[in-house]
Structure 1
């Protein structure tokens, strides 16, 4: 119901260039340019002005975006109100997030939904946080489990409702017998001279590692770029380096030690739930958010008891 060209204009405002916008929206640059030209023609205003290799949004474009955000939120609220007219909660809840969040929170939440609402199905998709936000805007998912980072929209972004869900502390993962394998814990700065294992591209963990190490006063020397936790743990067990591992991630039976980190601040991942603004009152979305909060509470209680 909302003109898709408004979404293209919003993406251009974020990415700054037609090429970057095309990549984010999985379109060709020519398609992006054409849609924006047609939008400007239909509105009868100038939306873009060239500025070197980039384009700058005109004052009229910012007015359009402000109203576009309000229209999108109102449409989601209308869908939610219409869904309330039905009898019972039914349908498919689409949930996306990083693998560890889906395993620890998404799967238990989906199981709770299945038990409480037999007519509800769940569809879970593993993606990094930046892609989850894109999927929300493209109406390809309903709820996202995201990690705020440098590429994430701010919590004040009018297009989303973002709510804290879980704070997940991180530990230092080292091989058995390593000099830092101390049960009482270590300061992160003590790992400054170690080789590090973390994948740089398309990985929510990378900026978190860099921020934690920078706060501890050093830049990590990354020698191996691996993302999947089983592979990371295997490399650590063979002595190829160390890494930060979230508490929410169960470790395979490798010869590794999870070392608690001391000092301030202790590295942590902060999970948020994100939905399109106006959609949180939709019965299906509300049930999903409630199930996620229950799963997070249960996970925290289990972690404190262990």
Structure 2
């Protein structure tokens, strides 16, 4: 393993052309610099310098190693600068996870603004359901989640994550325009006794919320289509194969043959940011603020009831 201090000595000789000038630049004595270079030659197992008149010159092996040294020293300098900036700067990796509707609706605009303001930030995004993403947050694999919580079935979180509610929105019943109840201004789930359902897979927040909402109205759920994406569920709804519970955020885009009817009694969904408590670093804080701004802009545009 090469010593960084000795590689720095070789890089200085390559840059300044002599031991004397390199020693002066490094603020050490020429003899001290020569000792470092001699030890580096033993580590490399090759001659790095050779006599040239009354001075020295770098051998081919020395130039090769000096090139690597320059790149390594540049990288170390960048690492030192990044660490010095960590207390205040928004930079480095930001590993995000979220439910598909929040990822699609909120994150693109938020990340566009965030990376424009902080070009050294490197976000990555994984979509999925809270049941799959929460273990990755708790293990440290992800930094921040956008998860959903339904009023009739609040998301359960183990001890550890901090939470902030970003969006509160109405949930609608999606029906085909061919469904006999599609023209009603509002509907009670009990009126859909003979209607099959499309929902996210069992174990997810939307599925469990649907099951509890139907059972609260005396119905046993008939979920025939377990589909992760709301848009795919709506494709089944359009063909009058099923109904679906759809939050406001997922109403767009929708197939033209789908109608959205208000629930009686009403049901709402929240999108929450979750991150490990005590680990609210600058990238996490900045991202939460950016998503809040994206959600507020969406409300001002009339996309939420």
TM-score > 0.5, shorter chain as reference: yes
For 1:96, the equivalent position in structure 2 comes to 97
1:271–1:83 CA distance, 2 compared to 1 (3 A): farther
The structure with the larger Rg is 2
Per-residue CA distance 1:125-174 (angstroms, 9 max, x = gap):
112102221111221111101124779544xx441111222112111111
Q: Could you say what secondary structure the match of 1:258 adopts?
A: strand
Q: Match of 1:297, SS?
A: helix
Provide the C-alpha distance between the structure 2 equivalents of 1:138 and 1:203, rounded to a whole number of angstroms. 20
Cα distance, 1:216 vs structure 2: 3.1
Distance 2:275 2:116 in 1: 23
Unaligned runs of 5+ in 2: 1-82
Give the whole-Å Cα distance in 2 for the aligned partners of 1:182 and 1:104.
Answer: 28
Classify the secondary structure of the residue corresponding to 1:260.
strand
Summarize deviations over 1:228-287 as a string: whole Å, max 9, x none: 2232112111121211111101133341111222x33x122222111001012x111110
Q: 1:255 aligns with which of 257, 276, 295?
A: 257
Classify the secondary structure of the residue corresponding to 2:115: helix
Provide the aligned length of Structure 1 versus Structure 2.
220
Residues 203, 227 of structure 1: 8 Å contact kept: no
The 2-side partners of 1:146 and 1:243 are apart by 19
The answer (yes or no) to whether the contact 2:90–2:121 under 8 Å persists in 1 is yes
- Residue 182 of structure 1 aligns with which residue? 183
Q: 1:219–1:300: structure 2 CA closer, same or farther, 3 Å change rule?
A: farther
* Equivalent residue number for residue 292 of structure 1: 291
CA RMSD of aligned residues (A): 2.5
Q: What do the CA deviations read for 1:59-79 (whole angstroms, capped 9, x no partner)?
A: xxxxxxxxxxxxxxxxxxxxx
Q: How far apart are 1:111 and its partner, in Å?
A: 1.4
Question: Are 1:170 and 1:244, in contact at CA under 8 Å, matched by a contact in 2?
Answer: yes
Partner of 1:270: 270
CA change 1:216–1:289 in 2 (3 A) is same
Q: Residue in 2 aligned with 1:227? A: 228
Q: If the length of structure 1 is used for normalisation, what is the TM-score?
A: 0.65
- Distance in 1 (CA, whole Å) between partners of 2:161 and 2:173 is 33
Equivalent residue number for residue 214 of structure 1: 215
Query: Any gaps of 5 or more consecutive residues in structure 1?
Result: 1-81
Q: Is the 8 A contact 1:173 1:245 kept in 2?
A: yes
Query: Tell me, what secondary structure is at the counterpart of 1:248?
Result: helix
Contact 2:177 2:258 (8 Å CA) reproduced: yes
State whether residues 196 and 242 of structure 2, in contact with CA within 8 Å, keep that contact through their aligned partners in structure 1: yes
| CA pair 132-200 structure 1, distance change in 2 beyond 3 A | closer
